[in-house]
Every structure is written in C-alpha cells, then in structure tokens.
Amino acid sequence: MTLIKSISGIRGTIGGTTGENLTPIDVVKFASAYGSWVKEQRNKDNYRVVVGRDARISGEMIQELVMQTLVGLGIHVIDLGLSTTPTVEIAVTEEHADGGIILTASHNPKQWNALKLLNNKGEFLNDNEGKKILEIADSEKFQFSEVDHLGEITKNDAYIDIHIDKVLDLTLVNEDAIKAANFKVVVDAVNSTGGIAIPLLLERLGVHTVKLYCTPNGDFPHNPEPLKEHLGEISKLVVQEKADLGIVVDPDVDRLALISENGEMFGEEYTLVACADYVLSKTPGNTVSNMSSSRALRDVTEKHGGNYQASAVGEVNVVKLMKDINAIIGGEGNGGVIYPESHYGRDALVGIALFLSHLAEKKMNVSKLRASYPSYFMSKKKIALTPELDVDGILQKIKEKYASENITTIDGVKIDFPENWVHLRKSNTEPIIRIYTEAKSQQEADALADRFISEIKSIS
C-alpha cells in the first residue's frame, strides 16, 4: 500500500494506515492544505473551486470528503460529479473559479485514487505552488470558517456537454468531413467517465459507435493504462465489427490510444504525431513533447518547417515550454494531446476530433495513415523501488559511464545515441524507475531497455 505526495497532488491506495495510504484523514488533510493555499492567493470574500471525479469505486467517498472540507474552509464548490480531467480544467476558467480538484488516479488500477490540483487557469500547479501546499499540509495549521461563513455546494452536470460544444467550435475540427466519412468506431472507456463523454462527442460528429466497457461504474475490466498488452479485446472487436478504428481512453480521459482497422495499435506515441501533422498542415508553428516521447514528432514538425523542443516529463513542464516557445500543439507520448486553441491541458476529446478531421480529409484508412509517419519503436519498462535502491546514485553512475554520449539531465538521465535513445527516471506517480527506449525496431528497443535494466541491477 502506498501514499505518494508530490507537487502535482496526493496519490495513494485506498484503505490501510493513515499517512501510509490514501485514508479519509489524509484526504481531509490535503484538501485543507489546498483550500488554505487557494485563500492565500487572493484576499476576497468569495472563493470558488471546481471539483469532479472519474468513475472509480472510491470516487464518491473521496469527493464528499474533499467538498465538505472546502465548505468548512468557507469555499464554494462547483460539483461536476462524474467528469473528466480536461472537462474540469475547462470548467475552472468558464466559472472564473480560484482552482479545481480532479479526483482520479489516472491510469492506476482501481485500488488507487488521487487529488490532482489545478490553479485558477485550469492548469496543473507548478513546482513552487505544489511545494507550498505540501508545506501547509505538513504544518496542519488550518483556519476553518465559523458557522455563518461556511461554503456551499452547487451541482452542475452540464460541463461535459459544454466541453463537447467547445471542441466542436474549434476552427480545425471539420465536422462536415467527419460526418461525410460515415466512420464506424469501437470505444473502450474502461468503465469510467470516457464512457459518458466519448460516445456523446462521436454522436455529435455523426460517427457510428460500438461501445465496449462504457458503463461508468469504476469496475475496470482490464488494467486501465491504454497499452497494447491490455487492449486485446478491443483489437479483436474492431476487426469483427469491420470498424474504421478503435478509440481507447484512460479513466480520466486525458490519454488517447487508437487501434487501426486491422486490429493493430496505431501507437500511443503516434496519437500526438498524427494530430500535430494535421494542425501543422493548417497552421505551421512549433511543437513540444517531453523527453520520453518519440522522435517522430520532431520529424513531422521539421517537415512542416517548425521548431521542436523537449521538456522534462510532466504536463506542467510541457505546458511551460509550450508557452515559452509559443507552440501551437504539444503533449506527451502517452497519448496526451495539448492544443492551446482549446486549453493548456491533455484532452482526449480534442485529440479525437482532430484525428478524425485528419483521417476524413486524408480519405485513407488508419493503417495507411500510420505508415506515412517515420517508423520508431518504443519499449516502456520499469523497476520497482526498494528501500536499499539509491536511485540518485545509480543515475549518477550511468551518467558517468556514458559521459561521452549526448546526455540530458533535466529529468533523470536521457542518453541520445545516434540511432536510438534511453531515458531513465524516477516516476512521480508510482514507486518505480521508468526505463524508456526508442529505436528503429521493437527488438532493438526491447534489447536496449533490457541492457539498461541489467546495468541498473548490477550497480545497485
């Protein structure tokens, strides 16, 4: 059982001992710290925070604890109920709120939940803001409101529809072309809130939808991380249904994976590549992804005459660099598309609308579109952390060993070899070391990852 406190919020497993897991007491403590931080930002009479959750089993309990804690601090809560991460982000700005909390452990299994924290722009907190909230939580000195000044809760279940409206209003979303294409799509929403949002979006776009695991009851039928090894059922169903593609989202709907018409993975890394290709073909400019993402985005960006740059891992880091270089699209290679024309957050709904627009205009099938991009293969592996594992010491020794190579250390250690690369870093969301590699073949990528796993184990 685990509790992870980081600048992006608090994440842990439900049940167990206080301070070691995500118990009700820990939820109240960190909600109190966040609410106290919100009130420190501006001196005003009326504070408002948007709260929404994915469909995981513990969500309703966690949400009630969070909302009533904010009420106790004198903060008014806009309760979105079952929602998505990008929907909550959009609601913060639409409501002119002081912040937002999304109750989701993203791709983690059902025993996990988390408080993901937003500022008044609907964006994730930066390093300094996150550290300040952790300091407030550690102090446990919270100033709650007297009885006449408690907050209130207002329910608003319209925001998924509002979110969809805003997606369809985007200039580059070609509704007419999508409707004319008469697409048939299979959707796997892992029984979370994507099962509400994605079919509604596709219905508005005139897409015939076959639903797989779209009941938002939190009973995840498979590991909710949208990776190939977890998606055998939808891959088969796409072929059986003679569908044009499959769409897979994680529980909070900020990651998008696609299945080609032949049941093959389009490649999680290539979600962003394809959307960027479409956007850049209409509005040339710069792009950003993180250091663990594919070189294919760089290749596509340069093809369109733009400048590509890589940030440290983490959405907040990607967004900061996007703003710094005025990138017109960016994101993360885990299927996270960030399109500033909509908002600065990973958004599977935006990704779906851009991808379908691209596919409809190209008038080609998904496998042919995938074959049009530079072909890279990634391996994503991990090593579980143990108390005796000195991660910093291991990474330092790896850095010294490969000092003659092109090394970047803004986030762990990334070694760029001429024909491939490896990125080693400690995860922000799980007690693991991540080992990501990319090469010109899957065999080469896997072999490179296994080689570095062996090196790490020999050092430790």
Catalytic residue numbers?
106
Instruction: Give the count of beta carbons closer than 10 Å to the beta carbon of residue 413.
Output: 20
Residue with tokens 């709650």: 144
Q: Report how far residue 444's alpha carbon sits from residue 420's, in angstroms, rounded to the nearest whole number.
A: 9
Residue with tokens 């960030």: 338
Q: Report how far residue 150's alpha carbon sits from residue 73's, in angstroms, rounded to the nearest whole number.
A: 7
What is the enclosing helix (H) or strand (E) of 102?
A: strand 99-103
What does the buried/exposed string (b/e) look like for 62-88 if buried means 16 or more CB atoms within 10 Å of the residue's CB? bbebbbebbbbbbbbbbbbbbbbbbbb
Read off the tokens for 401.
């060993």
Instruction: Give the count of beta carbons closer than 10 Å to the beta carbon of residue 296.
Output: 24
Read off the tokens for 306.
């733009």
CA-based max dimension of the chain = 66
Q: Report how far residue 427's alpha carbon sits from residue 314's, in angstroms, rounded to the nearest whole number.
A: 10
Read off the tokens for 92.
């913060």
CA nearest 103: which of 66, 135, 140, 71? 66
Q: Report how far residue 436's alpha carbon sits from residue 415's, in angstroms, rounded to the nearest whole number.
A: 11
Q: Report how far residue 10's alpha carbon sits from residue 429's, in angstroms, rounded to the nearest whole number.
A: 9
Which H, E and C letters describe 78-100, residue by residue? EEEEECCHHHHHHHHHHCCCCEE
Residues contacting 364, CB < 8 A, separation 6+: none
Instruction: Give the count of beta carbons closer than 10 Å to the beta carbon of residue 299.
Output: 14
Residues contacting 405, CB < 8 A, separation 6+: 415, 416, 417
Q: How far is CA 417 from CA 309, 332, 404, 451, in A?
A: 17, 21, 10, 14
Identify each DSSP E strand in 367-412 by its residue range: 377-384, 406-408
Instruction: Give the count of beta carbons closer than 10 Å to the beta carbon of residue 135.
Output: 11
